[in-house]
Amino acid sequence: MSKAARARTGTPTYDVHPSVGMIIKWVAELKGKTGRSLDEWMAFIRKSGPKDEKSCRQWLRDEHGIGGNTAWWLAEKAFGDTGTFEESPKTYLAAAARYVEQMYSGPKAGLRPIHDALVRLGRGLGGDVKVCPCKTIVPFFRNHVIAQIRPSTRTRIDFGLALGPLIKASKPRLPKRLIDTGGLAKKDRITHRFEIKAADQVDGEVETWLRRAYELDAKA
């Protein structure tokens, strides 16, 4: 089924996470910058490196002069904890669907209708909204992250919003349902959240504040 057809039927579709482009570029440049290709690094780490991911990151930095992000990605790849480490749009999109299925498996299965309603709401803002699942969260992007779905408990999704510029500029009156996450003080993108326990709570108030987050990100 095409993306357009899925949208018409209300079935959520997903978009390629911005990190995938970064990974593709990183893989292409890796040998020139470090002397080994990705496959060569994987073989070397598995043969000669430490036996856990944290130690591997430190070993790559200290003994091989590998920078922080590169050491992190190489260690993740070597130990199979890939997160959104996917080397092509096709493999990412296949993984994204699995992430969502796993997120709502077992005791959190009852939260899936809320997730689907939130994705449809995000899609309704405009064609430039991208929905890009990770292992435990589903961020919405415009130019940057504007919102985030997180199934926090068996009974609740936390729907986070990036409202920092608005809060700093005008200190608006917020609805009681919109909870301060402390993100502004911590310089996180997500500054406020709704606690949503049923699909019918994805209402006009949630839409209004999601749209504010979307509009705040109009200029990159």
179-180 sheet: strands from edge to edge: 130-131, 138-141, 145-151, 157-161, 192-196, 179-180
Range of the domain at 186: 3-17+108-216
Cβ atoms of 154 and 106 closer than 8 Å? no
Give pLDDT tens digits for 160-189: 999 998 888 888 889 999 999 999 889 899
Give pLDDT tens digits for 92-137: 898 899 999 999 999 999 999 999 999 999 999 999 999 999 989 9
Residue 55 shares a structural domain with residue 139: no
Other C-beta atoms lying within 10 Å of the C-beta of residue 87: 15
This prediction has a pTM of 0.77
Residue 181 shares a structural domain with residue 112: yes
pLDDT at 125: 96
pLDDT at 5: 41
Tell me, yes or no, whether 67 lies in a domain: yes
Tell me, yes or no, whether 93 lies in a domain: no
Rounded Cα–Cα distance for residues 146 and 200 (Å): 22
Between 85 and 203, where is the model more confident? 203
pLDDT at 107: 95
Give pLDDT tens digits for 83-97: 545 668 888 898 899
Residue 69 shares a structural domain with residue 169: no
Tell me, yes or no, whether 89 lies in a domain: no
Residue 113 shares a structural domain with residue 184: yes
Total domains present in the chain: 2
Residue 118 shares a structural domain with residue 209: yes
